[in-house]
Each structure stands twice: as C-alpha cells, then as structure tokens.
Structure 1
Amino acid sequence: MLTLQNTPNHAGVKISGDYFDLEELNKAIYHVIGDENKYLHYTGSRTRILGICHAIRQAALGERNVETVFNGLTDHAKKQKSFISPDKNIYFSTEVLWPEILYAAVALKDFVRLHREDAAFPDWEPEVHVITHFQSLVLDCLHGQVPEAEYQVIMKTFSDTAPVRDYAVQYIDFLNLKYIDMAKQQRENALSSVAMKIATQDSDYNAFRQQVLAAATPSKKAIHEIQFKADYPEKIDW
C-alpha cells in the first residue's frame, strides 16, 4: 500500500510502498503526463515531476531507503494454514521536499485535465485514479501538519488553483532551498504559507516569474530553459 508520511524534521514527505506500489505510481504518472513532445507549455512542470519519478524508481530498485513492514500475518493465522512465512514485507521509500511534492500535486491537476481532454474513456483508466489517489495522499499528509483552519483554506485554494501553463518552475527551487535552510520549528510554522504560495501564484511568485522572463528574453529561450543558479546541499536534514 502506498503511503506518505511527514519526515522527522518536517523537510518533506517520505513516499513508501512495495515494489509494485511504486511502479504503479510511476507508470500512472508517465501515462498521464505524456511524452516530451506533448503539452509543450508544461515542459518545465513535466521535468520536475519526472524528477520525482526518478527518485521513486531508484527507491523501487532498492537504491534509497529499505525497511520492513508488518504484513498482517499473525502466528495464529500461520498455524491455521499450516505454513511458514515471514510476517513482514519489504517496503521501499524516498523523501521529497515539501515544496516539490506540493507543486507536483498542483501540476498533476493540469496534466490530468489535459489527458482527460485527449482520452476516449478517462474515467475507466486506472492510471487517472492512481494519480488522484496520490494527490489526495499528499494533501492528507499535509492535513496532519498544519492547523485545521489553515488546512481548510489550503484545500479550497488547491481546488481552485490557476493552471501552471508556462510556470516559472525555478520558483520551486527557490522555495526548496529556503525550506532546507530552516530549522525544524521554522519549517513546521512555514508549511501553510509555502502551500498557499504554490497554490495561489501570489505577488512574490509573479515578481519572480518576471525576473525569469527577463533573463529568457535576450537569448529567446523558453521560460523552463533558464537555469536557477543555486546548488542543493549533498545532505538534507530530513
């Protein structure tokens, strides 16, 4: 079963599941976002989501975290069925920063909408339901980390988010790095604000986007092609 949990120091979310859970999520994401020649105004968002897919894929291959989880098989059940079996399953997991996972939840709304417009019978595609389940897990995990009144506002805002067409995805790097630099309590206090910034495309985001567009204009580059000049730390205090 796919699960999402807040990391101990509130830096992000740990995505956990067995091999098949993680592969199912990756397959669904690839199915919905399409190939690189589709939805060209969402190339930056697609690239960021594929970054999460890469981390999930590495986790499924055992290259991230490996843990054991009780599978529900009790000694009584084993005696009744007369067989010997482990009572734990192997689960794999990877961490994703809070701003990154929240943006993915928002951007996937657009990809699901675009996919629905192209697909013949999207309501019957299991991949669409896997994606919406994943988005609900992200917001449910957020629910446990912010005050209820703030969460209700966030939920309404996430339900009415503007499209992320030609989004300045460098802004997520900016938020990620600010969030990494915070202490545990600061992260906890700032999480609602970060969620709202991603959902609303507020004045700070719009000012940031104008800077990116100004950098893109002389070289006639697309907005997603402008590099954000800052390095992530090798180790994150998750």
Structure 2
Amino acid sequence: MLTITNTPNSTGVKISGDYFDLDGLNQAIYQIIGDEEKYYDYAGARMRILGVSFEIRHAAQGDRNIEKVFNGLHDHVKKQHGFIAPDKNIYFSVEILWPEILFTALALKDYVRLHRKESKNPEWDIHLHTVSHFQALVLDCLHGQVQEEEFQTILKAFSNTLPVEDYAIQYIDFLNLKYIGMTKAQREKTLPIVAVKIAMQDQDYLSFRQEVLAAANPAKKSIHEISIQAEYPETIMW
C-alpha cells in the first residue's frame, strides 16, 4: 500500500510502498505528463515532476531506503492454512522535501486536467486515478501537520490555483533551501505558509519570477533553463 508520511524533523515526506506500488505510481506519472514536447509551456513543471519521479523509481529499485513492514499474517493464520511464511513484507521508500512535493502535487493537477480532456473514458483511466490518489495522499499528510483552519485555507488555495505554465521553477529551489535551513519548530510553523505561497503565486513569487525573466531574456533562454546559483547540502536531516 502506498503511504506518505511526515519525516521526523518535518523536513519533508517519506513516500513508501512495495515495488508494485512505487512502480505503478511512476508509470502513471509518465502517462499523465506525456512526452517532452507535448505541453511545452509546462516544461519547467515537467522537470520538477520528473525529479520526484526519478527518486520514486530509484526507491523502487532499492537504491534509497528499505524497510520491513508487518503484512497482517498472524501465527493463527499460518497454523490455519498449514504453511510457514514471513510476517513482514519488504517496502521501499524515499524522502522528498515539503516544498518539492507540494509543488509536484499542484503541478500534476494541471496535467490531470489536460490528460482528462484527451482521454476518451477518463472515469476508467487507471493512470488518472493513481495520480489523483497520490495527490490526495500528499494533502492528507499535510492535513496531519497543520491546524484545521490552516488546512481549509490550503485546500481553498489548491482548488483555486493558477496554472503552472511557464512557472519559475527556481522558486521551488529557493523554498527548498530556505526550508532545509530552518529548525524543526520553524518548519512546522512555516509549512502552511509555504503551501499557500506555492498555490497562490503571491507577490513574493511574482517578484522572484521577474528576476528570473531578467536573467533569461539577455541569454534568450526559456524561463525553466535558467539555473539558480545555490547548492543543496550533501546530507539533509529528514
């Protein structure tokens, strides 16, 4: 079963599941976002989604965390059916920073909308349901970390957000790095603010975007091609 939980230091979330959970999610994401040239105005958002997808894929391959999870097989069940079997399954997991996973859930909303328009029978499209379930898990995990009033504000923001076409994805790096540098208490206090800022594309974001565009224009590059002058730490205290 796919699960998403808050990390001990509230730095991000841990996405967990068996191989089939993670691989199925990854395949669904690929199907929803489509080929590279399909939605060019969403190239930046696609890059961020693929970054998370990359981590999920490597988790499924056993390159990240491996843990044992109780599978519900009690001793009396083993005796009843007369066989010997382990009572734990192997699960794989990977951590993703909170700003990153929130933007991914939000950006996938646009892709779900676009894919739904093209699907002949969207109500039966398993990939749409898989991605929607993933998005719901992200928001449900967030729900457990914030006050109810704050969560309702976040839900409203996520429901009425602007499209992420030509999004200045460098802003997510800015939020990620700022978030990493906080204490646990600061992260817990800031998390609902970060969620709303990502969803609403507020004045801070718009000012940041103008700076990125100013750097992009002389170089004649697309907004998503401008790199941010900052590096992530080698070790993150999750």
TM-score by length of 2: 0.99
Deviation of the 1:117 alpha carbon: 1.6
In the alignment, what sits opposite 2:12? 12
* Equivalent residue number for residue 47 of structure 1: 47
Letter in 1 for 2:9: N
Match of residue 221 from structure 1: 221
Aligned partner letter, 2:114 = L
2:122 aligned with 1:114:
no
Deviation at 1:177, TM superposition (A): 0.2
Residues in 2 aligned to 1:8 and 1:123: alpha-carbon distance in whole angstroms: 37
Q: Given residue 230 of structure 1, which amino acid in structure 2 is its aligned partner?
A: A
Q: CA RMSD in A?
A: 0.6
Aligned-residue identity in percent: 66
Q: In the alignment, is residue 187 of structure 1 matched against residue 181 of structure 2?
A: no
Q: Which ranges of structure 1 fall in alignment gaps of 5 or more residues?
A: none
Q: Deviations over 1:171-224 (max 9, x none)?
A: 000000000000111011100000010010000000000001111111111110
Which residue pairs with 2:130 in the alignment? Answer: 130
Give 2:133's aligned amino acid. H
Q: How far is the alpha carbon of 1:123 from its aligned partner?
A: 1.7
Cα distance in 2, alignment partners of residues 13 and 147 from structure 1: 18
Match of 1:170 in 2: 170
Structure 2 stretches lacking a partner, 5+ long: none
Q: Secondary structure at the match of 1:135?
A: helix
Number of residues of Structure 1 aligned to a counterpart in Structure 2: 238
User: 1:231 — aligned with what?
Assistant: 231
Instruction: State the TM-score, normalizing by the size of structure 1.
Output: 0.99
Deviations 1:68-112 (A, max 9, x none): 000000000000000000000000000000000000010000001
How far apart in 1 are the matches of 2:47 and 2:167? Answer: 12
Q: CA deviation at 1:116?
A: 1.2
Stretches of 4+ moved more than 4 A in 1?
A: none
SS of 1:218 mapped into structure 2 = helix
What is the aligned partner in structure 2 of residue 148 from structure 1? 148
